[in-house]
């Protein structure tokens, strides 16, 4: 399945529109074909709708790829990987000492003494 996952894959574009279409199909199955509608099914659809409709599509697509095991976390969410790289430079012991005037050991002692 991995070989079919690429940045121009149509199945990972317009996720919200496809999700709303799947909701319409589910309700049509209940209405026209007598598919049983359970409370658990309604709760699951509401939870899915809350997640899919509130998050941006790039987050939804990244979560899908990561949760299905198709991509590692850093590849599914490249923005987070960039932030991690940028923050690692800011929070390095050398920069921490320069900006705060403390060494790493002194910083850790200060954190521990606050508890």
* Domain locations along the chain: 1-73, 77-115
Q: What is the pLDDT of residues 33-62, one digit of tens each?
A: 999 989 999 999 999 999 889 988 888 888
Closest residue by Cα to residue 19 from 61, 77, 75, 70:
61
* Cα four-point dihedral sign 6, 7, 12, 13: negative
Cα 7 to Cα 68: distance, rounded to the nearest angstrom: 16
Cα 45 to Cα 15: distance, rounded to the nearest angstrom: 15
pTM, two decimals, is: 0.58
Indicate if the pLDDT at residue 74 is higher than 90.
Answer: no
């Amino acid at each position: 399945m991995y070989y079919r996952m690429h940045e121009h894959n149509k199945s990972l574009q317009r996720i919200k529109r496809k999700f709303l279409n799947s909701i319409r199909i589910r309700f049509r199955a209940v209405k026209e074909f007598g598919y049983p509608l359970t409370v658990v099914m309604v709760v699951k659809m509401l939870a899915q709708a809350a997640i899919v409709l509130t998050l941006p599509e790039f987050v939804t697509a990244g979560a899908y790829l990561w949760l299905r095991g198709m991509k590692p976390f850093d590849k599914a969410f490249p923005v987070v990987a960039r932030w991690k790289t940028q923050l690692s430079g800011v929070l390095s012991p050398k920069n921490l000492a320069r900006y705060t005037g403390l060494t790493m050991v002194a910083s850790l002692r200060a954190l521990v003494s606050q508890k």
